[in-house]
A and B are shown apart, each in its own frame.
Chain A
Amino acid sequence: MIPLSWYLALSAVLFSIGVVGVLVQRNVIALFMCIELMLNAVNLTFVAFSRFLDQTTGQLFVFIVMAVAAAEAAVGLAIIISLFRNRETLNVDEADLLKL
């Protein structure tokens, strides 16, 4: 059997890729995909722990995370579309009307 630590390491790597992606990407859609990657890395952690602890709690959590992520994706796409209609850009650096 593959040890738990491998799964945890994989999900930590995926989560970190997501974090770095959010920090360096400039396209809104790519940013958004990185956030989804982070959520899915967490799902992997939940499933791995759920198997390791021999419980279903973790898998239940994954269901809820998936449903919520879908709702978030729908809302996020709607927001991105409305920004694109008004600004004609998907670059986050150009969303700069409000500044410090």
Chain B
Amino acid sequence: MEFADLNISYSAIAPEIITSLTGVAIMLIDAFSKQGARRTNALVAIIGFGLTLAALAGLWTGTWTPFGGDYFSGMVVVDHMRLIFSFIIVIVGILAVLLAGQFLKDEELPAGEFFSLVMFASAGMLMMASAGDLVMVFLGLETTSIATYILAGYRKYDVRANESSLKYFLLGSFATAFLLYGIALVYGATGTTNIVGIQKAIASGAINYPPLLLIGAAMMLVGFGFKIASAPFHLWTPDVYEGAPTLVTAFMATGPKAAVFAAFLRVFAVGFSSPTTGVGETLQETWVSVLAVIAVLTMTIGNVVALTQKNIKRMLAYSSIAHAGYALVGFVTGDFGPVAFYLLAYAVMNIGAFAVIQMLARPGDRKTEISDYAGVGFETPLLSFSLAIFLLSLAGIPPTGGFIAKFFVFRSAWESTPGLRWLVIVAVINSIISIYYYLYPIIVMFFRPLPAGFSKPKVGAGVTAVLVLTLAGVFFLGLMPDRVLGALNQGRGAARVAIQEAFR
């Protein structure tokens, strides 16, 4: 390969560069300043995310970099799918930074590391969204995971956080090893790690030993399944989400999940979808049906187990599993649009809900049982009404974003793949079941007596901003989804595949 074939374009990776540099800058500021410089670091992080958004917008308009190309010899792609997922990731990052100020102040934790880890995790997520090669998928996944392992254990003198971090680390690395072994086998079978190259190799039938490809794809499915917390690979989720600081839980449940879905879609819906040859058809039919089964299991287990939970963080962890299942229903259509919209709506409402939980739980996450919420409804109206709206949105009640997201996913699955309509029916039944456990905390908040000795939590400016933004987001997505849907439709075809044919 000659040097010119590398196709180097720094504007194509500008978002990743800006986020990483911001992370490094925060580390340096933290090292230079004596007092920790929490405000400065938060400001720098926000500015970094702002510049990243600008870079993404620049890429979207196509002024610097031609659209639809790949750069760095196929490592990085610029298309609608990447940019939409990148927008979701940056939104999650901004909300996390806004929430972090009060968390770090209340618990007197070091600030510099937190913001730089959030920046590095975001850089990893952006890399996953932009990956055109399995090397980038792996690198992005690990950058994100390593940063979030530390974030999960950020309260380093809290035993629960230690445990959460350790479990996340051990099971996360275990899953990564599976994913990596899958990548190795797929590489051996197709002779390339480029995702489009894999698709071409399968389409041309030039597979060295077809079983290798199938085993490799299965192991990659296991690896990705772990990372998005789908059943039966979900067992780490409740423990990790409960033990981690609430803010970190909100971050982990939304950002990395969206990024892994982006990479998952890119690998499976682009790489493993050329049903023209025998092995290609077998592969595609197999993964679509396996994913359909996983989606059913994920939704059902998530929702049914959430019914019995007493701890609100644990309940939302199971709810997060269930929501991954709904997103998987969108996944089997092979189109990224429904998945991206669903994950955007989920990110907004979930971070909002966790922001309220962080406030009501007080420093150290002491009050996270649902019974702790008794009677707080009219004492702290801003928090309790916001939480009620977010929970209703998670349940999928109109006119919230959660409803439109579910509707969009279910409709596109219903219309595009007649062979998988049963999946949509299961999903609808599941979302009806879920209403019970989302309504329960609302009832406890408003209709149970307030225990004595209740003190109102102090809500800082950052948290207020997050609540306003997420509430606006929930209603914007619920009442005026046209703009976002329009942007998604613009990008159709980028990752659209012919799964529909396989199930007609």
Direct contact, A vs B (beta carbon within 8 Å): yes
Residues of A whose CB lies within 8 Å of any CB of B are 8, 15, 18, 22, 28, 31-32, 35, 38-39, 41-42, 45-46, 48-49, 52-53, 55, 57-58, 60-61, 64-65, 68, 71-72, 75-76, 78-80, 82-83, 86-87, 92, 95, 97-100
Given that A22-B174, A72-B142, A76-B169 are known contacts, is A98 also in contact with B160, CB under 8 Å in the complex?
yes
Given that A35-B170, A75-B150 are known contacts, is A57 also in contact with B193, CB under 8 Å in the complex?
yes
Task: For A78, list chain B residues within 8 Å (CB).
Answer: 150
Given that A83-B163, A87-B162 are known contacts, is A75 also in contact with B149, CB under 8 Å in the complex?
yes
A-B contact pairs, 18 of them (CB 8 A): A31-B170, A42-B183, A42-B184, A53-B191, A58-B184, A61-B134, A61-B138, A61-B183, A64-B135, A65-B180, A68-B138, A79-B153, A82-B153, A83-B159, A87-B159, A95-B162, A98-B167, A100-B235
Task: For B138, list chain A residues within 8 Å (CB).
Answer: 61, 64-65, 68
Query: Are the CB atoms of A98 and B239 closer together than 8 Å?
Result: yes
Query: Are the CB atoms of A64 and B184 closer together than 8 Å?
Result: no
Residues of B whose CB lies within 8 Å of any CB of A are 134-135, 138-139, 142, 146, 149-150, 153, 156-160, 162-167, 169-170, 173-174, 176-177, 180-181, 183-185, 187-188, 191-193, 235, 238-239, 242-243
Query: Are the CB atoms of B166 and A83 closer together than 8 Å?
Result: yes
Docked Cα-Cα span, A72 to B243, in Å, equals 21
Task: For A31, list chain B residues within 8 Å (CB).
Answer: 170
Interface core residue of B135, B160, B162, B185 (most chain A CB under 10 Å): B162
Query: Are the CB atoms of B159 and A86 closer together than 8 Å?
Result: yes
Task: For A45, list chain B residues within 8 Å (CB).
Answer: 181, 184-185, 188
Of the candidates B167, B174, B192, the one whose C-beta lies within 8 Å of that of A95 is B167
Query: Are the CB atoms of B180 and A28 closer together than 8 Å?
Result: no
Docked Cα-Cα span, A8 to B208, in Å, equals 14
- Which secondary structure dominates chain B's binding surface? helix
Of the candidates A79, A97, A99, the one whose C-beta lies within 8 Å of that of B165 is A79
Of the candidates B164, B173, B185, B242, the one whose C-beta lies within 8 Å of that of A76 is B173
- B238 nearest CB neighbor, chain A only: A100
Query: Are the CB atoms of A38 and B181 closer together than 8 Å?
Result: yes
- B164 nearest CB neighbor, chain A only: A98
Known: A18-B177, A86-B157. 15 other contacts (CB 8 A): A35-B170, A39-B177, A42-B181, A53-B188, A61-B183, A64-B139, A68-B142, A71-B142, A72-B142, A76-B169, A83-B165, A95-B162, A97-B159, A98-B243, A100-B239
Docked Cα-Cα span, A41 to B173, in Å, equals 14
Docked Cα-Cα span, A71 to B160, in Å, equals 24
Interface core residue of B146, B173, B192, B239 (most chain A CB under 10 Å): B173
Given that A49-B187, A68-B138 are known contacts, is A86 also in contact with B162, CB under 8 Å in the complex?
yes
Docked Cα-Cα span, A76 to B169, in Å, equals 7
Of the candidates A46, A79, A80, A82, the one whose C-beta lies within 8 Å of that of B187 is A46
Docked Cα-Cα span, A22 to B183, in Å, equals 21
Docked Cα-Cα span, A66 to B183, in Å, equals 15
Query: Are the CB atoms of B163 and A95 closer together than 8 Å?
Result: yes
Docked Cα-Cα span, A48 to B180, in Å, equals 15
Docked Cα-Cα span, A15 to B180, in Å, equals 11
Query: Are the CB atoms of A35 and B149 closer together than 8 Å?
Result: no
Docked Cα-Cα span, A22 to B167, in Å, equals 12
A96 CB to closest chain B CB (Å) equals 8
Query: Are the CB atoms of B163 and A60 closer together than 8 Å?
Result: no
Query: Are the CB atoms of A35 and B239 closer together than 8 Å?
Result: no
- B172 nearest CB neighbor, chain A only: A72
Query: Are the CB atoms of B238 and A32 closer together than 8 Å?
Result: no
B289 CB to closest chain A CB (Å) equals 25
Docked Cα-Cα span, A100 to B160, in Å, equals 14
Task: For A48, list chain B residues within 8 Å (CB).
Answer: 188
Query: Are the CB atoms of B157 and A61 closer together than 8 Å?
Result: no
Query: Are the CB atoms of B192 and A57 closer together than 8 Å?
Result: yes
Given that A53-B191, A61-B187 are known contacts, is A75 also in contact with B159, CB under 8 Å in the complex?
no
Task: For B191, list chain A residues within 8 Å (CB).
Answer: 53, 55
A62 CB to closest chain B CB (Å) equals 10
Task: For A98, list chain B residues within 8 Å (CB).
Answer: 160, 163-164, 167, 238-239, 242-243
- A49 nearest CB neighbor, chain B only: B188
B250 CB to closest chain A CB (Å) equals 18
Query: Are the CB atoms of B180 and A42 closer together than 8 Å?
Result: yes
B211 CB to closest chain A CB (Å) equals 11
Docked Cα-Cα span, A46 to B134, in Å, equals 13
Task: For A41, list chain B residues within 8 Å (CB).
Answer: 181
